[in-house]
A = this chain, B = another copy of it.
Amino acid sequence: MHENKEENIIVSLPGEFIHRIEQDLNKITSSIPDILSSHYEFLKDEWNYSNAFEFLVGMMVGNCQFSYIQAFDQIYEKMPTGDQTEEIHNMISRRKVDFEQGVSAFLEENNIK
Taking Cβ atoms with an 8 Å cutoff, the residues of A that contact B are: 39, 42-43, 46-47, 49-51, 54-67, 70, 86, 89-90, 93, 96
Contacts and interface: CB of A to CB of B under 8 A. Distances in A.
Nearest to A50: B54
A95 to B, nearest CB: 11
Contacts of A93: 43, 46-47
Q: Taking chain A's interface residues, is the majority helix, strand, or loop, or is none over half, making it mixed?
A: helix
Query: How many monomers of this chain does the complex have?
Result: 2
A59 B60 CA distance: 7
Contacts of A42: 86, 89
A61 B58 CA distance: 8
B65 A59 contact: yes
B57 A49 contact: yes
